[in-house]
């Protein structure tokens, strides 16, 4: 292995016979890494030029064949493989395409993408300071910033591989804190209940199944016309369950629901939770980023009353999957419910610098550097401005819908989800056709007896002409369907 | 937003007043992305040149200051931030350094690193074919290849964010399959037990805590002198627990234990599990890659009897964190225990093409492309050869230890973990000093009453002179400690 500094010139004494280790390598790892990275940059250039349009993925069998997906016994050259990877990437829908409006993420902050690339080069794992070094400090900085914005300065956080996992970890800690020795000895068969709105993310119910609580014990609280949890209904359900002998343990309030983008009234929900001694988790995976913007923070009023709060930076903050933070209001809880003594791992430095004592996972990728890079670029002020641009796009889309006699707004958007119907055409048919004809990746929602298109205005790179293009495509397809 | 193809020239009619969307951007997203990626390549060049040595991370406070880690209200330029990211990366220990021997991963296949970079550019999420496109086919190809090598061709797999999560998901499915309606209605309070060896990974015990089984009900099976689970002791524990009224549900066998690298005797363990009707999970996170190499496969003899098997490609296969596959022996189980109906997500294509119906997470990063790229480069034959090189390095290290009167081999390595003592010096002191003096990142293990250095020979780029350097550094430090 060639390298620039090698403090010893020693040669090997033993056992030269049996292997190829002494064969001359065609190039050092460094040279090969650089060569491949230059090839990757070439592919990136082509990809960036291609991402304005959507690729043709209609026929999986054809793709499998044309992209040479099957693996075989024999290898290929680096040049061949990088060309193949490039073709695969150009056949993959890009979340940064102006035609990609399908998810609660989209667009990118280029420095975040680049920082993630560089993090991948060192392949840091985030359990100990010994191997993570300054990445641990960066993670702490970002988490403490997010905790501060949520009004949870005294808390402690961790990064998790997605919002479902952040919610899972919050529910785990809520369960364990309510029940004493469950971590050691398991659940005792008491019927536990958790509360979440009919608009909340499916992971609450799913996680109840995982944690031994049971999906049926994720009690579904009705919402008002805007999709917000009704505190009176929450109170009613808890009272009913208590009367039936259940043991309520947790309320999940959502800040930015998946389909409608609704914000549950945190302060009122917190009052109900507190009255019954229940853990309050806030699933702010989508809406947490409104904490960055002073005029939007009131939608999360009461976040400081949460016991835990989940916030996905990979949604509104322009960093790639995955970047989900979980903040606990009190220090020590993560370690109490997640730490395992592992002598082979935690061999240096105090626990504060070893985040592996506070994480759901063991080996854990570096999710913090990319967010730190984007935050350094934008500053708090730039992030506020970025969210404002997203909201500006929402207002513009609403104006276009209101001015269009063929479109009906489902509700005034509180978040970045703009939900609307197209008169005379089914939203599902429209979205399917838009996808088939490679015009737009956009999804539909169904709730409160209506089915509608959900336009997610999360990519702040979009402008007025993009919106005009988007509505024009929708009209074109709707007209064709009505014929 | 500037782009190369824009099928509509329409301009916006409404609501021009209130925002900045119409302001001229300094450059398009594409141009900015490219600019940043070129800056990233410059930083990568510097990082690759730096990674032969270990950075100075002794003083966290100094690092925090010098690397300008605190975030602030104001932003910076792209050039400033990329320079900062570069400095941070060069202050981060690289897992590809020849002096990095601390973890069960190390080194890199450059095409895998590059493929991950390109996957990050599109920011694919892996729940639906509509957004993942060919990445879904690539994931299927890689998983079916791994299932085939494990002798589980009829099975189905998923990728998870690390081995702990793969083990968690296997244990979840084992629990649910044993108990009927636990997913819907929760655990009923029966005492459940799972079995795992005293050398197995801590995630088995941790996951028992998470799943409501209880850590104390992760029953610890003694091992033989080589660190392999004793089937007779397993039988004894199960029989005892049954007599005490417990309900055994699962056995975890390990192929490649964390510290010693031991392989449990799968066929014999499977016979005990089958006799009692228990689920057999194989934690092959480390050792699974031996399936790539015909002469090493016998160590996993019986893998085809597993109900589930976890295999981390990010350990021996040279791809970055995270890349952990879980293979289930039977199709349908992942969906049965993980799927939630989510109309807003699964809007096109049959379920087979929508891996989100079979995943623990909701949004999920693309972990498969990098492995596919490396596999296309190496082919089955190249991967076998890669593992042979790793084993060749083990043999060479053993020869050096045996030839050295100051070193004692703890046991003949079955895997890539070379465990040895240095006479007259404590392994912990040596490893701490090696780290403090920036000579080596290497860890120690403690088991069977001994404390020893664990040298992980996972980076196939290392050669004889690297090994000589490594032992020289160890001797230098040991001599200084003995003075």
pLDDT at A54: 97
Q: Which residue among A130, A191, A399 sits closest to B15, beta carbon to beta carbon? A: A399
pLDDT at A1: 44
Q: Which residue among B12, B314, B392 sits closest to A464, beta carbon to beta carbon? A: B12
A23 touches chain B (CB under 8 A): no
Q: Which residue among A33, A189, A392 sits closest to B188, beta carbon to beta carbon? A: A189
Q: Is B130 in contact with A82 (Cβ distance < 8 A)?
A: no
Q: Which residues of B touch A212 (CB under 8 A)?
A: 175, 182, 186-187, 211-213
Q: Is B38 in contact with A37 (Cβ distance < 8 A)?
A: no
Residue of B nearest to A211 (CA): B211
Task: Kindly give, in sequence order, each residue whose CB lies less than 8 Å from that of residue A262, ignoring residues fewer than 6 positions away.
Answer: A199, A223, A226, A227, A228, A254, A256, A414, A415
B46 plus B157 within the same structural domain: no
Q: Three-state SS string across chain A, please?
A: CCCCCCCCCCCCCCCCCCCCCCCCCCCCHHHHHHHHHHHHHHHHHHHHHHCCCCCCCCCHHHHHHHCCCCCCCCCCCHHHHHHHHHHHHHCCCCCCCCCEECCCCCCCCHHHHHHHHHHHHHCCCCCCHHHHCHHHHHHHHHHHHHHHHCCCCCCEEEEECCHHHHHHHHHHHHHHHHHCCHHHHCCCCCCEEEEEECCCCCHHHHHHHHCCCCHHHEEEECECCCCCECHHHHHHHHHHHHHCCCEEEEEEEEECCCCCCCECCHHHHHHHHHHCCCEEEEECCCHHHHHHCCCCHHHHCCHHHCCEEEEEHHHHCCCCCCCEEEEECCCCHHHHHHCCCCCCCCCCCCHHHCHHHHCCCCCCCCCHHHHHHHHHHHHHHHHHHHHHHHHHHHHHHHHHHHCCCCEEECCCCCCCEEEEEECCCCHHHHHHHHHHCCCCEEEEEEECCEEEEEEECCCCCCCHHHHHHHHHHHHHHHHHHHC
Closest C-alpha among A152, A72, A126 to residue A367? A126
Closest C-alpha among A325, A280, A125, A462 to residue B1? A462
- Summarised one tens digit per residue, pLDDT across range B294-347 is 999 999 999 999 999 999 999 999 999 999 999 999 999 999 999 997 666 666
Contact yes or no for A252/A196 (Cβ under 8 A): yes
Residue of A nearest to B5 (CA): A52
Q: Which residue among A137, A379, A392 sits closest to B69, beta carbon to beta carbon? A: A137
B433 plus B337 within the same structural domain: no
A413 touches chain B (CB under 8 A): no
Q: What is the biggest distance separating any 2 CA atoms in chain A, rounded to whole angstroms? A: 85
Closest C-alpha among A232, A282, A292, A278 to residue A257? A282
pLDDT at A12: 30
**Sole residue written with tokens 């082979």:** A344
Task: Kindly give, in sequence order, each residue whose CB lies less than 8 Å from that of residue A483, ignoring residues fewer than 6 positions away.
Answer: none
Q: Is A96 in contact with B29 (Cβ distance < 8 A)?
A: yes
Among the candidates A68, A91, A114, a domain finishes at A91
Q: Is residue B19 part of a domain?
A: no
Residue A26 CB burial class (10 angstroms; 0-12, 13-18, ≥19): exposed
A64 touches chain B (CB under 8 A): yes
Q: Is residue B104 part of a domain?
A: no
Q: Is residue A266 part of a domain?
A: yes
pLDDT at A299: 98
A256 plus A316 within the same structural domain: yes
Q: Which residue among A71, A78, A343 sits closest to B111, beta carbon to beta carbon? A: A78
Mean pLDDT of the residues in chain B: 93
CA distance A15 to B119: 42
A297 plus A159 within the same structural domain: yes
pLDDT at B350: 73
B301 plus B430 within the same structural domain: no
Structure ipTM: 0.94
B310 touches chain A (CB under 8 A): no
**Sole residue written with tokens 């690289």:** B94
B243 touches chain A (CB under 8 A): no
A400 touches chain B (CB under 8 A): yes
CA distance B153 to B303: 12
Q: Which one of B45, B114, B311, B432 makes the best mutation probe of the A interface by having the most chain A beta carbons within 10 Å?
A: B114
By residue range, what is the domain housing residue B78? Answer: 24-92
Q: Which one of A41, A64, A78, A85 makes the best mutation probe of the B interface by having the most chain B beta carbons within 10 Å?
A: A85
Backbone angles phi, psi at B60, to 5 degrees: -60, -40
Whole-angstrom Cα Rg for chain B? 25
Q: Which residue among A15, A44, A210 sits closest to B395, beta carbon to beta carbon? A: A15
Region B463-471: what's the mean pLDDT? 97
pLDDT at A84: 98
Alpha carbon of A310: minimum distance to chain B alpha carbons (Å) = 14
Asked if the model's pLDDT at residue B370 lies above 60, the reply is yes
CA distance A353 to A348: 9
Residues 108-147 of B with CB under 8 A from A: 108, 110-111, 113-125, 129-138, 141-142, 145
- Summarised one tens digit per residue, pLDDT across range B406-418 is 999 999 999 999 9
Q: Which residue among A75, A118, A205 sits closest to B44, beta carbon to beta carbon? A: A118
pLDDT at B239: 98
B451 plus B475 within the same structural domain: yes
> Could you tell me the two tokens for A381?
């002020």
pLDDT at A3: 39
Residue of A nearest to B346 (CA): A443
Per-residue CA distances from B378 to A293, B258, B394, B467 (Å) = 49, 26, 21, 25
B465 plus B413 within the same structural domain: yes
pLDDT at B26: 58
Q: Is B381 in contact with A74 (Cβ distance < 8 A)?
A: yes
B28: pLDDT confidence band, cut at 50, 70 and 90?
A: confident
Q: Which residue among B81, B107, B342 sits closest to A377, beta carbon to beta carbon? A: B81
pLDDT at B224: 98
Per-residue CA distances from A46 to A49, A90, A116, A257, B131 (Å) = 5, 8, 20, 36, 20
- Summarised one tens digit per residue, pLDDT across range B233-252 is 999 999 999 999 999 999 99
Q: Is residue B129 part of a domain?
A: yes
A87 touches chain B (CB under 8 A): no
A360 plus A417 within the same structural domain: no
B57 touches chain A (CB under 8 A): yes
A154 touches chain B (CB under 8 A): no
Residues 93-112 of A with CB under 8 A from B: 93-96, 98, 100, 102-103, 105, 107-108, 110-111
Q: Is residue B98 part of a domain?
A: no
CA distance A399 to A456: 15
B29: pLDDT confidence band, cut at 50, 70 and 90?
A: confident
Task: Kindly give, in sequence order, each residue whose CB lies less than 8 Å from that of residue B483, ignoring residues fewer than 6 positions away.
Answer: none
Q: Which one of A2, A33, A446, A447 makes the best mutation probe of the B interface by having the most chain B beta carbons within 10 Å?
A: A33
B17 touches chain A (CB under 8 A): no
Q: Which residue among A117, A185, A469 sits closest to B117, beta carbon to beta carbon? A: A117
A147 plus A205 within the same structural domain: yes
Q: Is residue A22 part of a domain?
A: no
pLDDT at A419: 98
CA distance A378 to A363: 30
Among the candidates B319, B341, B374, a domain finishes at B374
CA angle B197, A345, A341 (to 5 degrees): 60
A289 plus A185 within the same structural domain: yes
Q: Which residues of chain A have pLDDT under 50?
A: 1-25
Q: Which residues of A touch B466 (CB under 8 A)?
A: 1
pLDDT at A53: 95
Q: Is residue B11 part of a domain?
A: no
Whole-angstrom Cα Rg for chain A? 25
A302 plus A438 within the same structural domain: no
Residue of B nearest to A373 (CA): B81
Q: Is A365 in contact with B124 (Cβ distance < 8 A)?
A: no
Number of domains observed in the structure of chain A: 3
Tell me the CATH number at A439. 3.90.1150.170
Among the candidates A374, A397, A431, a domain finishes at A374
B454 touches chain A (CB under 8 A): yes
Q: Is residue A430 part of a domain?
A: yes
A236 touches chain B (CB under 8 A): no
B171: pLDDT confidence band, cut at 50, 70 and 90?
A: very high
Task: Kindly give, in sequence order, each residue whose CB lies less than 8 Å from that of residue B223, ignoring residues fewer than 6 positions away.
Answer: B197, B198, B199, B229, B230, B262
pLDDT at A180: 87
Q: Which residue among B82, B203, B376 sits closest to A114, beta carbon to beta carbon? A: B82
A278 plus A152 within the same structural domain: yes
Residues 335-394 of A with CB under 8 A from B: 337-338, 340-345, 347-348, 353, 360-365, 369, 372-373, 375-382, 388-389, 392-393
Q: Is B133 in contact with A91 (Cβ distance < 8 A)?
A: yes
Tell me the CATH number at A173. 3.40.640.10
């Amino acid at each position: 292995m060639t390298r620039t500094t090698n403090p010893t010139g020693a040669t090997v004494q033993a056992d030269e016979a049996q292997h190829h280790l002494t064969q001359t390598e065609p190039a050092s790892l460094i040279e090969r890494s650089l060569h491949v990275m230059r090839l990757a940059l070439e592919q990136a250039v082509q990809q960036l030029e291609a991402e304005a349009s959507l690729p043709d993925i209609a026929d999986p069998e054809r793709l499998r064949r044309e992209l040479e997906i099957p693996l075989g016994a024999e290898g290929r050259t680096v040049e061949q493989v990088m060309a193949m990877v490039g073709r695969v990437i150009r056949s993959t829908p890009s979340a940064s395409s102006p035609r990609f409006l399908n998810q609660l993420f989209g667009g990118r902050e280029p420095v975040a993408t680049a920082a993630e690339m560089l993090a991948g080069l060192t392949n840091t794992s985030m359990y100990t300071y010994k191997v993570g070094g300054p990445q641990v400090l960066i993670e702490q900085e970002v988490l403490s910033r997010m905790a501060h914005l949520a009004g949870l300065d005294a808390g402690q956080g961790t990064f998790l591989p997605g919002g479902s996992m952040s919610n899972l970890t919050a529910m785990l800690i809520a369960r364990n804190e309510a029940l004493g020795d469950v971590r050691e000895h398991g659940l005792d068969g008491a019927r536990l209940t958790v509360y979440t709105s009919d608009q909340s993310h499916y992971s609450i119910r799913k996680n109840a199944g995982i944690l031994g609580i049971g999906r049926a014990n994720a009690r579904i609280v009705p919402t008002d016309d805007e999709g917000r949890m009704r505190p009176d209904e929450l109170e009613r359900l808890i009272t009913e369950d208590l009367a039936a002998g259940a043991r309520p343990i947790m309320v999940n309030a959502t800040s930015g629901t998946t389909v409608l983008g609704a914000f549950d009234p945190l302060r009122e929900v917190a009052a109900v939770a507190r009255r019954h001694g229940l853990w309050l988790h806030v699933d702010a995976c989508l809406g947490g980023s409104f904490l960055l913007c002073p005029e939007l923070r009131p939608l999360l009023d009461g976040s400081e009353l949460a016991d835990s709060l989940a916030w996905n930076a990979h949604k509104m903050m322009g960093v790639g999957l995955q970047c989900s933070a979980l903040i606990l209001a009190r220090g020590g809880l993560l370690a109490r419910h997640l730490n395992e003594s592992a002598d082979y791992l935690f061999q240096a430095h105090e626990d504060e610098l070893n985040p592996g004592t506070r994480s759901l996972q063991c080996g854990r990728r570096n999710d913090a550097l990319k967010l730190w890079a984007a935050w350094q670029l934008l500053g708090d002020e730039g992030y506020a401005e970025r969210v404002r641009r997203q909201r500006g796009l929402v207002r513009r889309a609403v104006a276009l819908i209101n001015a269009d006699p063929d479109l009906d707004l489902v509700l005034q958007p509180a978040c970045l989800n703009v939900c609307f119907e197209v008169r005379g055409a089914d939203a599902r048919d429209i979205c399917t056709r838009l996808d088939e004809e490679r015009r737009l990746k956009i999804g539909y929602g169904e709730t409160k007896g209506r089915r509608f298109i959900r336009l997610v205005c999360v990519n702040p790179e979009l402008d007025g002409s993009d919106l005009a293009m988007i509505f024009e495509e929708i009209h074109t397809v709707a007209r064709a369907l009505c014929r």
